[in-house]
Amino acid sequence: MMKKAHHLNSASETKMKAIDLVSEYGLDALAAVLHETAKEKGFWDGEYSHDKVGNKLALVHSEVTEVLEAIRKSKGSENIVEEMADVIIRLLDVYAAMRNEEEILHSLDEVLEAKINKNKERPRLHGNLF
Ligand SMILES: [Mg+2]
C-alpha cells in the first residue's frame, strides 16, 4: 500500500490522469498536481503566509459544510460525492503548499498508512463516548 516517495517535476508526469497518479505515485503526487492547478487559478497569489494557510483551511471547512448541505437538501449522489471531492482537493492543496514551504516534512502517503494501521489497533470509538 505504501506509495513510493516522489516529487513530480516533468510536464509529462503532471499530465497523467489524476486517478493514474494516485495508483502509481500516491496522494503526495496528486497533491503536487492539485496545488499547481490551484496556483495557476490564482488561489495562491502573493506571499505564502500562515494567514493564507488559515484561509485555505477555512475553505476546507466550507467544503465539508457543502457536503452536509448537499445531503440535507437531497441534492443527489453525484453532488454529494462532488462536494466530498472538493474537501479532498482543498486539503491536498494546503498539504502540498506546506510541503513546498518545508513547513511540514512528512509524506502524507506514509503518515496515512501508519495512521490507518494505528487506528486498527485502537478500542471501540477509540475509547471515547462517541
Ligand atoms: Mg464545493
- Give the distance (Å) from ligand 1 centre to CA of residue 62: 8
Q: Phi and psi at residue 87, in whole multiples of 5°?
A: -60, -45
Cα separation values, 35 from 43, 54, 92, 100, Å: 9, 16, 8, 10
Domains in the chain, ordered, with CATH?
A: 11-120 (1.10.287)
Return the amino acid letter for 8: L
Cell triple for residue 28? 503526495
pLDDT in single tens digits along all 130 residues of the chain: 445 445 555 445 556 677 777 778 899 999 999 999 999 999 999 999 999 999 999 999 999 999 999 999 999 999 999 999 999 999 999 999 999 999 999 999 999 999 999 999 999 999 999 9
- Give the distance (Å) from ligand 1 centre to CA of residue 109: 24
The pTM for the full model equals 0.84
- Give the distance (Å) from ligand 1 centre to CA of residue 119: 29
Q: How far apart are CA 30 and CA 59, in angstroms?
A: 19
- Give the distance (Å) from ligand 1 centre to CA of residue 49: 24
Helix, strand or coil, per DSSP, at residue 128: coil
> Please, what is the angle between helix 27-40 and helix 77-100, to 10°?
90
Surrounding ion ligand 1 within 5 Å at CB are 63, 66, 83, 86
